[in-house]
Amino acid sequence: MIPLSYFFGLSIILFVLGIVAFFIKRDLITMFMAVEIMLNAANLAFITLAKAANSLHGQVIVLFVITVAAAEAAVGLAIILLVFRQKKSIKAEDMRLMNG
Amino acid sequence: MTEYFWLIPLIPGASTFILAVFGRWLPKKYVSWQACLSVFASFLMAVASFLGLLKVSPENLPIVKSLFSWIVSGVFSTNLSFQLDPLSMIMALVVTGVGFLIHVYSVGYMARDKGYTRYFTYLNLFTFAMLILVMASNIVLMFVGWEGVGLCSYLLIGFWFEKNSAANAGKKAFIINRIGDAAFILGVFFLLVNIGSGEFKAINAAIGGGSVTQGLATLMALLLFVGAIGKSAQIPLYVWLPDAMEGPTPVSALIHAATMVTAGVYMVSRFNLLFTLSGVAAQVVAVVGALTAIYAATMALTQNDIKRVLAYSTISQIGYMFIGCGVGAYAAGMFHLYTHAFFKSLLFLAAGSVMHALSGELDMRKMGGLRKYLPLTYPTFLIGAIAIAGVPFLSGFFSKDAILTHAFVQRQYFVWALGIMGAVLTAFYMFRLIFLTFFGEERLDSHAKQHLHESPRVMTVPLVLLAFFSIVAGYVGLPVVFGEKANLFTRFLEPVIKPGHKAQLTVSMEWLLILISVAVALCGIYIAYIFYLKSPRTPHVLVSRFPKIYKLLYNKYYVDEIYNAIFVNSAIKGSEVVYDNFDLKVIDGTINGTAAATGFTGQLLSFLQSGLVKDYALVLLLGVVIFLGYLLL
Amino acid sequence: MGAFLFFLLAFICVGSVLGMILSKNQAYNALFLVLAFASLGGLFGLLDAPFIAAVQIIIYAGAIMVLFIFVIMMINLRQGLTPEKKRWTLFLSAGLAVILLVEFILAIRGTFSALGHTGGEKMGTPTELGRLLFTDYLYPFEITSVLIIAALVGAIVLVKKKEKE
């Protein structure tokens, strides 16, 4: 019998940690992973609320989120690979073609 | 026949409009016909109105026709309305009559000028503005005409604008006019505030009813008179008129002899009740007029340019008109205006004819003995000179004598004395001009002599007509010696200009004054004869004996140079200072500064475009935080 | 029992995320993340979402992270990257993150008590989920399948090496 607000708090902590990770890291892959953390934090929040509202809609949404995250991960990693082939580096600072 | 008098100004106005808009595509011949005919039509209208006016009894005057309501603003309202009364009638007849003859003359004089259409557009515009001035029924509309003639004067003086001297002369005229106008408009404001309406009828009623104090009247009259000083070229604002001779000669005849410069005299006569109420203002008018009369005459003595002599003569003669007004004889002043219009424009047009014959030469030292070659110009010129000198039986004698007699009667002896001296000088310099130009040895340029020819008929016919009027026009105003009723002119003007104190002079005194005037005129002519015909060495001897006086007169008392040093140069320096400090620093600085600030801000913000995903995400985060914060609070 | 499980799983989750942040080696980062996802799956189970928990473990921990690890292997960087030089954006982001945290807490402060507890009736069975999926959420379901195919084809086309002529 855990109060659901604890889960919420955990979700918040995970989300903020994800943000911090995004800004601290310099390589693209880890930044991408931080994005995944954020997504998962959101999923946790959804499930918590589904339980609180006693409806399954929240869980269905989580299903979709997971699916779309998977597709996004596939395409994103493909792009990272391509960038690596061009620039031989996965440092975020090196990707500044749009400067100015 | 007076119902349509308000068309008098509008006919030339319509002609101006057509010429201004379509002039570029109209053939030259058509332009000549339209311009001259419009003024002629106006003249016929004026004659018809005159005949009708004679039948109107004085209580019904003035006849006012209001065309539409022009300014309606709070407590002040003015209409666009014209007024017909003896005073405006005389002016209208002079403007349209003499104006028509000058238009005809211009057809010949300007025949080969490439600005032909532009010339006639401006000339018609001038006629329109001048007629507005003289036929307005309120002072605001009169001021519109006042400014309009000033504008036309500028346009026509600087007609040959490619010549630097002409353009500068035009500017000089306009600016000096403006100085007078500033005072004039102050006077207008005082009038409007104190009397509540600009209509002449209302103003005269207020003055007659005693609601205007003497001090206030003096103030208003003096301010208006300063405007007249500028417009009519009296001391100290006369310096533009000699320079105005840069314009075409018919322009000098029309604007700077017959009409525009006399607008000041008309205005003073129009406000005769105001000036009479304030004795101080009237005295000022008389003294300024007298001083100008003699001052300008002295400068005319030494000029070698034929048109400049006539210009100084005009300034001097207008001084006489103001003497007339100042001593209370407004009718006499107007009479001189009327006769002067004829003989002065005749003199100018004849001078133009001489210049035309000599292919543009205007220096009298290069003329001489022309009377053999110019059989029509010479006699008409001579008639004009005799008239202005004040020889009896011609018009100038009657008008000048009327003014001087009235001055004497009003015990203004100083003014009278100056007037008499001026008469001597007038006769002298006019005949100096005649003798130098038409008599004596020929000092002509060989090139000019080859092309010497009398002017075409279109130019000489107006000369003859003007000469005729210079002789007969004076007979409508016979001197008092022939009885009170004999002066038709003054009687005609009675509804507007009440006769002042009745002059009480013995008949013998009056004849004595007449004799003095005649003697003075003949004296001047005789002296000129000696100087320039009998012993032509005399002027040179005099010059070598009194070189300093000669230099002073020849350089016009250095007034132009003084004005330049005091006013013009300080204005130029002032504008330079303003340019450096304000124009460059403040205005340019603001604009350049805005540009610099924009660039600087752009540079500051350019970090936002770093191309790094993380920076963009940072901004996103910032936005989310702010948004959430806003929602929470 | 439930409380102990929750705190254990929560601790593991946060700990592995922290480890991911602190580690410089990408492979380690990926492995830490796998641990995090696994614990999350457990948490889902505590919340009466058994199907979702299974899906989480299979897809996230099993498929996505494996994909990550494959890519890391292909990129094959020898050394890890040092964290950023101290740019001012770093501090700004840290500060903003803290503010965000505070804001979130403030946001849900009022609802602490209203949320209720775990336990209670059972829900989240696959049957129920399936029923919901194929009735209310049919459109999203089909579109998602199209999306997956698009991602699949796209990823392959993107990464295909051009044939050298």
Distances (CA, A) of B551 to B16, B566, B603: 45, 21, 70
Query: Per residue in A10-56, pLDDT tens?
Result: 999 999 999 999 988 888 889 999 999 999 999 999 998 888 888 88
Round to whole Å and give the CA distance between B92 and C129. Answer: 108
Distances (CA, A) of B108 to B42, B274, B385: 21, 44, 23
- Give the pLDDT confidence score for residue B505 in this predicted structure: 67
Cβ neighbour number for residue B234 with a 10 Å cutoff? 29
**Quick one: what percent of chain B has pLDDT higher than 90?**
19
Q: What is the mean pLDDT of residues B570-589?
A: 82
- Among the residue ranges A88-97, B21-30, B390-399, B619-628, the one predicted with the least confidence is A88-97
- The token pair at B554 is 């020849």
- Give the pLDDT confidence score for residue B481 in this predicted structure: 62
Instruction: Give chain A's domain count.
Output: 1
Q: Is A95 on the interface with B (CB under 8 A)?
A: yes
- The token pair at C71 is 């890519």
The helix/strand/coil state of B51 is helix
Task: Tell me which of 3.40.640.10, 1.25.10.10, 1.20.1250.20, 1.20.120.1200 is the CATH number of domain C1-78.
Answer: 1.20.120.1200
* Nearest-10 crossing angle of helices B214-231, B164-195: 160
Q: Is B628 on the interface with C (CB under 8 A)?
A: yes
Query: Per residue in B241-290, pLDDT tens?
Result: 888 888 899 998 888 777 888 899 999 998 888 888 888 888 899 999 99
Query: Which residues are bridge partners to B305 per DSSP?
Result: B363
Give B632's contacts in chain C (Cβ within 8 Å): 103, 106-107
The residue of C9, C13, C25, C100 whose CB has the most chain A CBs within 10 angstroms, and thus the best one to mutate to test that interface, is C13
* Cβ-defined contact of C112 to A3 (cutoff 8 Å): yes
Res C78 pLDDT > 70: no
Res B561 pLDDT > 70: yes
- Give the pLDDT confidence score for residue B501 in this predicted structure: 57
* Cβ-defined contact of C107 to B621 (cutoff 8 Å): no
Query: Strand B76-84 relative to strand B63-73: parallel, antiparallel, unpaired?
Result: antiparallel
- The token pair at B272 is 């005769």
Phi-psi region of B367 (alpha: psi -120 to 50; beta: other; left: phi over 0): beta
Higher pLDDT, B208 or A73: A73
* Cβ-defined contact of A95 to B618 (cutoff 8 Å): no
Res C142 pLDDT > 90: yes
Task: State the average pLDDT for chain B.
Answer: 85
Q: Could you tell me which chains touch chain C, where touching means 3 or more CB pairs under 8 A? A: A, B
Task: Assess if residue A96 is contained within a domain.
Answer: no
* Cβ-defined contact of C71 to A3 (cutoff 8 Å): no
Q: Which long-range contacts (CB under 8 A, 24 or more apart) does B558-561 make?
A: B559/B236, B559/B239, B560/B239
Give C102's contacts in chain B (Cβ within 8 Å): none
Q: What's chain C look like in SS3? A: CHHHHHHHHHHHHHHHHHHHHHCCCHHHHHHHHHHHHHHHHHHHHHCCCHHHHHHHHHHHHHHHHHHHHHHHHHHCCCCCCCCCCCCHHHHHHHHHHHHHHHHHHHHHHHHCHHHCECCCCCCCCHHHHHHHHHHCCHHHHHHHHHHHHHHHHHHHHHHCCCCCC
Task: Assess if residue A62 is contained within a domain.
Answer: yes
Give B621's contacts in chain A (Cβ within 8 Å): 19
**Quick one: what percent of chain A has pLDDT higher than 70?**
98
- Give the pLDDT confidence score for residue B403 in this predicted structure: 87
Q: Which residue of C has its CA nearest to B612?
A: C89
User: Which residues are CB-neighbours of B629 under 8 A, at least 6 positions away?
Assistant: C99, C103
Res B221 pLDDT > 70: yes
Distances (CA, A) of B251 to B62, B244, C84: 32, 9, 89
Q: What is the mean pLDDT of residues B476-491?
A: 68
Query: Which residues are bridge partners to C117 per DSSP?
Result: A3
**Quick one: what percent of chain A has pLDDT higher than 90?**
48
Q: Which residue of C has its CA nearest to B614?
A: C89
Q: Which residue of A has its CA nearest to B602?
A: A100
- Give the pLDDT confidence score for residue B445 in this predicted structure: 74
Quickly state the pLDDT bin for B446 (edges 50, 70, 90): confident
Q: What is the mean pLDDT of residues B206-214?
A: 80
Q: What is the mean pLDDT of residues C119-135?
A: 81
**Quick one: what percent of chain B has pLDDT higher than 70?**
97
Q: Could you tell me which chains touch chain B, where touching means 3 or more CB pairs under 8 A? A: A, C
In the numeric block, the tokens 């000096």 are attached to: B176
Task: Assess if residue A100 is contained within a domain.
Answer: no
Cβ burial, residue B499 (10 Å; 0-12/13-18/19+): middle
- The token pair at B50 is 């005159």
Round to whole Å and give the CA distance between C145 and C139. Answer: 10
Name the minimum distance, in Å, from the CA of A78 to any CA of chain B. 18
- Expressed as residue numbers, the domain containing A20 is 4-89
Res B212 pLDDT > 90: no
Task: Assess if residue A84 is contained within a domain.
Answer: yes
In the numeric block, the tokens 């399948």 are attached to: C145
Q: Is A2 on the interface with C (CB under 8 A)?
A: yes
Query: Per residue in C12-51, pLDDT tens?
Result: 999 999 999 888 888 899 999 999 999 999 999 888 888 9
Q: Could you tell me which chains touch chain A, where touching means 3 or more CB pairs under 8 A? A: B, C
Q: What is the CATH number of the domain that holds A20?
A: 1.10.287.3510
